[in-house]
């Protein structure tokens, strides 16, 4: 339990090495895949929000990469 609380604390703390955007994007993507697999196995229509949710998860994962551009620039500027 202590490891989980420590992970959550690091996730919401800036410059801790754990990206909350990456964690949320990956977790959301896994949930979406699980939902789609469940609906396929049971032969039911997936909720309409699933497609939008996948876009949001992909955006969270992509935004983390884009913000890295400015981090590299700031590191070179200080040297």
pLDDT in tens, 8-65: 777 777 677 777 777 887 888 888 889 889 999 999 998 888 888 888 888 887 876 7
d(CA 51, CA 32): 9
Two structure tokens written together for 35: 């939902």
d(CA 18, CA 25): 13
Query: What are the CB-based long-range contacts (under 8 Å, 24+) for 30-33?
Result: 32/57
Asked whether residue 66 carries a pLDDT value surpassing 70, the answer given is yes
pTM for the model stands at 0.62
| pLDDT of the residue at 40 | 92
60: number of Cβ within 10 Å? 20
| pLDDT of the residue at 20 | 75
40: number of Cβ within 10 Å? 10
């Amino acid at each position: 339990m202590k490891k989980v609380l420590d992970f959550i604390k690091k996730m919401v703390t800036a410059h801790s090495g754990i990206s909350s955007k990456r964690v949320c994007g990956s977790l959301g993507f896994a949930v979406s895949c699980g939902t789609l697999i469940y609906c396929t196995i049971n032969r039911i229509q997936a909720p309409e929000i699933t497609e939008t949710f996948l876009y949001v998860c992909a955006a969270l994962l992509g935004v983390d990469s884009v913000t890295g551009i400015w981090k590299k620039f700031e590191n070179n500027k200080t040297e």
